[in-house]
Structure 1
Amino acid sequence: MASTIPLLETLEITLSATGVVELAFSRPKRYNALSALSYRDWLAAIQWAATCDAVKVVVLTGRGKYYTSGQELVAPDTSPEGVENSKKRRNVTKTLVDELINFPKLLIAGVNGPAIGFGVTSLALCDIVYSVPEATFGTPFMKLGFCAEGCSSILFPKIMGPSKANEMLLMGRTFTAQELEQCGFISQIIPLEGFKEKILEIAEKAAEFSGVAMGITKKLIRDNEREKLLLVNDIEMKQLSLCMESKESMDQILLFVNKRKSRL
């Protein structure tokens, strides 16, 4: 397939001659918060990378101080149009998770700063996760009346162990990069200075390997749990819709939005 790079508003794409593509969240003034457009851009980028013959390895990272601060929270819109837009956004998110589950090429996450919410849960769907020492990781779902998503209800306990996973998902504890490296969630911590260059160097070396062999091996690894992950994603998103449509969740989101406005 042609290597024409999509032009996206919230995500910067850079493709090297050797087949390494960097997908960078690019809303640094908003801490790379994930708006409805951000999710659509991310989905478009992943679908393009999956089918583009010129792409061998994908690096997912962020511009600025944050990797991503997760979903951008706005005041709930209970109008028919607002409800419909929320459903469309969640459908995009579900499709994005499905695409990450099925992604056929090597997917490396380079966490350049704090990661929150979906920015954390989606890391578990990457093949390898590298991080700067200063990064922190949190899923404040309970505070907002949300539930686990991104297949975190199954992948977090598998990777981190049940107790740490429950601390993150149920207690909302923020973890350090060092803690997540110790439990195997993060492969390696790399210094902030030169982080981008080091991650791309690692990716370039991987791009020299046989793409066929890498694709087959990744498929063998993923096939053991693919159907289960797709099912879990479907169940999580249905439950998330119910949670986000509840009065309790809407009240918590509105409280958060109002507090943020008061600080501006």
Structure 2
Amino acid sequence: MSQPTFKHFETTLLPSGVYEFAFNRPQIYNALSPEVYKEWLDAILWAATDDRVKVFVLTGRGKFYCSGQEIKRPDFSESGDKADRQKRAVTKALVTALIDFPKLLIAAVNGPAYGFAVTSLALCDVVYATPDATFTTPFMKLGFCAEACSSYTFPRIMGNSKANEMLLMGRTMGVEEMIGCGFVSRTITKDKLRERVLQLAEEASKFSLTALKVTKDLVRQNERPLLHRVNEDEMAKLHIRVRTPESIASLNSFVDASEKRRSERKAIKNKL
């Protein structure tokens, strides 16, 4: 199979077998759209089976790692509802693919991360981050619920109290706190992040891929069935939550505020 190309990601497959997959929408802070989710899913499925790939490195270009889901006005007309169901099916499939990914999956968080970009990090094998990285899951503000298995992975990794501060109270965590609770391995300066992470990935790519797969399976095999059940349950509840009056009101309020800020910025720019 030929190496795929993507519109919203910058990719590099090194001779060593390290595959760098970078969010590349810096003009909108690497926000997630249905097309981005689909490309991410396609890349994970391809890399899982292509023998040229030994290590998958997920990162971002620009100031942000990823600002999370693009927030738009809810549309639950017949066509809007169909599009929403299709988007959630892709998101669910992406989480499934991350759970089952058999190779080393490293995240290099190069700046602020929001929403699904944060929750999906808990399904990576190793997470590095820059000193300015922050981690936010604003689900309660939007009337949503936990996703990407974070209702299970966050308490397991971070402990109940910190996990609930993020998931239930929407508290933004800095990188030092995330290191302290075991979510992030260590920090790497922004100017050295890409170089250092690719170096670490290349060192790991020299190991036996079979040995790596077997060991990763030993680490994760007992919780994979549980993670799949959690993914199923979270997505079913999220499907319901986004259709509630409180969630719709929160989303519309968010869009109203965003449109107002854009209008004010445009007015200031026109005066200059």
TM-score with structure 2 length normalisation? 0.95
Given candidates 223, 241, 244, the residue that maps to 1:243 is: 241
Contact 1:160/1:184 (8 A) holds in 2 = yes
Question: What is the identity, as a one-letter code, of the residue corresponding to 2:245?
Answer: K
Given candidates 11, 14, 32, the residue that maps to 1:13 is: 11
SS of the residue corresponding to residue 167 of structure 1 reads: helix
Structure 2: gaps spanning 5 or more residues:
263-272
CA distance in 1: counterparts of 2:28 and 2:115, whole angstroms: 15
| Number of aligned positions between the proteins | 262
Aligned-pair identity in percent equals 55
CA distance in 2: counterparts of 1:18 and 1:195, whole angstroms: 19
Contact 1:19/1:54 (8 A) holds in 2 = yes
For residue 8 of structure 1, report the CA deviation from its aligned partner.
1.1
For residue 250 of structure 1, report the CA deviation from its aligned partner.
1.0
CA distance in 2: counterparts of 1:101 and 1:82, whole angstroms: 29
Which residue of 2 is the match for residue 192 of structure 1?
A: 190
Q: Which runs of 4+ in 1 moved over 2 A?
A: none
SS of the residue corresponding to residue 143 of structure 1 reads: coil
CA distance in 2: counterparts of 1:245 and 1:215, whole angstroms: 40
CA distance in 1: counterparts of 2:105 and 2:248, whole angstroms: 34
What whole-Å deviation, never above 9, does each CA across 1:30-85 have from its counterpart, x for those lacking one?
A: 10000011100100111111111100000000010100001111111121000010
Which residue of 1 is the match for residue 62 of structure 2?
A: 64
What whole-Å deviation, never above 9, does each CA across 1:80-102 have from its counterpart, x for those lacking one?
A: 00001000000000000000000
Question: What is the identity, as a one-letter code, of the residue corresponding to 1:143?
Answer: K
Which residue of 1 is the match for residue 131 of structure 2?
A: 133
CA distance in 1: counterparts of 2:76 and 2:56, whole angstroms: 38
For residue 249 of structure 1, report the CA deviation from its aligned partner.
0.6
CA distance in 2: counterparts of 1:94 and 1:196, whole angstroms: 29
Which residue of 1 is the match for residue 101 of structure 2?
A: 103
The higher radius of gyration belongs to 2
Write the mapping of 1:4-43 to structure 2, written as runs, cut at 5 A. Answer: 4-43=2-41
CA distance in 2: counterparts of 1:109 and 1:180, whole angstroms: 14
What whole-Å deviation, never above 9, does each CA across 1:171-214 have from its counterpart, x for those lacking one?
A: 00000001000110001111111111111000000000010000
CA distance in 2: counterparts of 1:166 and 1:205, whole angstroms: 36
Given candidates 160, 165, 189, the residue that maps to 2:163 is: 165
TM-score with structure 1 length normalisation? 0.98
Which residue of 1 is the match for residue 261 of structure 2?
A: 263
Structure 1: gaps spanning 5 or more residues:
none
Which residue of 1 is the match for residue 154 of structure 2?
A: 156
CA distance in 2: counterparts of 1:206 and 1:117, whole angstroms: 29
